[in-house]
Amino acid sequence: MELAGGEHTKIGQLRMAELVASALRERILAGGIVDGSTLPKQDQLVEEFGVSYPSVREALRILETEGFITVRRGNRGGATVHAPDIGTAGYALGLTLQAMQVKVPDLGAALATLEPLCAAHCAQRTDRGRAVVPPLRELLAEGDDCLDDGAAFTRASRKFHDTLVGFEPNATLRVVVMSLTSLWSVQEETWADVQMSRGAYPSRSDCAAAQRAHERLVTSIEQGDADEAARIAQEHLTAAQRWVCRTLKDRVIDAASSRSRMRFRRG
């Protein structure tokens, strides 16, 4: 069946739009167009690619749908670039797990498997005394100051874990585990707020025990003892998750809430 002329034109515009979107996408991913910058105006894109205005507008719509740009309309409008980062990956992973109806304990089990590996790798870093240990010790001090405030202690504790896995030297593992820790942090911080409102948050001595585990973990990393770092991390994560999973054992992972979006937006 032959297509009408208007349909041919529309299909041609869509194909050109996809080509333009692909070219711009590759530039963003390669760093040729940096995060936070503005794409060239439509006039410039039309001239550069030799396509029509409808094709350029469709290309921008494609990139906006994918999250690569935010388009501001009007005389002072433009397209601001958003290069994908760990926050982007974590948010997408979280939404996928939520759509699959994955429960909170399942997420915790994955994290308890992978985070100890990151702790071991941190202990094997030759620059751990300079790059890893000092920031973690600063976070230990923050935790000490929050022992009497459960919700604040949870946030400080999660910051410690988020930072620890951020020192994983393998980039692929770092992205995956940081995505998981950020997603778990959303669940645990929500849990902590609810427990505090009910007067059911773990005792100060429980917080102090978690803090001592953090201290032992940092010491093992500082000493370069990878096996001990992994063992402490595994033991601590299992104990800490028990509190959360006792309450959230049947809860599906939350990745779409405002709290979750704010955390992943910080990347």
Structural domain of residue 214, as residue ranges?
86-265
Residue 12, pLDDT > 80, answer no
- Contact status, residue 217 vs residue 236, Cβ threshold 8 Å: yes
At 191 the pLDDT is: 94
Provide the whole-model pTM: 0.81
At 74 the pLDDT is: 67
| CATH number of domain containing 21 | 1.10.10.10
48 token code pair = 């550069």
167 token code pair = 């020192």
* Residues 208 and 93 placed together within one structural domain of the fold: yes
Q: How confident is the model at residue 10 (pLDDT cuts 50, 70, 90)?
A: low
* Residues 161 and 205 placed together within one structural domain of the fold: yes
| Largest CA-CA distance found in the chain, in angstroms, rounded | 77
Residue 5, pLDDT > 70, answer no
Model confidence over 77-128: pLDDT tens digits?
789 998 888 888 888 999 999 999 999 999 999 999 999 999 999 999 999 9
CA angle 133, 139, 144 (to 5 degrees): 125
First to last CA, the chain: 50
Model confidence over 127-168: pLDDT tens digits?
999 999 999 999 999 999 999 999 999 999 999 999 999 999
The residue from 81, 96, 121 where one domain ends is: 81
Specify the residue for token string 């429960």: 103
Radius of gyration of the chain (CA): 23
Q: If you average pLDDT over residues 180-192, what whole number do you get?
A: 93
Q: Which residues, at least 6 apart from 112, have a Cβ–Cβ distance to it below 8 Å?
A: 234, 237, 238, 241
* Residues 131 and 162 placed together within one structural domain of the fold: yes
235 token code pair = 């033991």
- Contact status, residue 56 vs residue 50, Cβ threshold 8 Å: no
**Which long-range CB contacts under 8 A does 105-110 form with residues at least 24 apart?**
105/241, 105/245, 105/248, 105/249, 106/253, 107/180, 107/183, 107/184, 107/187, 107/253, 108/184, 108/237, 108/241, 108/244, 108/245, 110/180
Residue 54, pLDDT > 60, answer yes
Q: Which of 137, 153, 126 is nearest to 224 (CA)?
A: 126
83 token code pair = 């290069």
Q: Name the range with the highest mean pLDDT among 25-34, 62-71, 215-224.
A: 215-224
At 75 the pLDDT is: 66
| CATH number of domain containing 92 | 1.20.120.530
* Residues 207 and 253 placed together within one structural domain of the fold: yes
Q: How many domains does the chain have?
A: 2
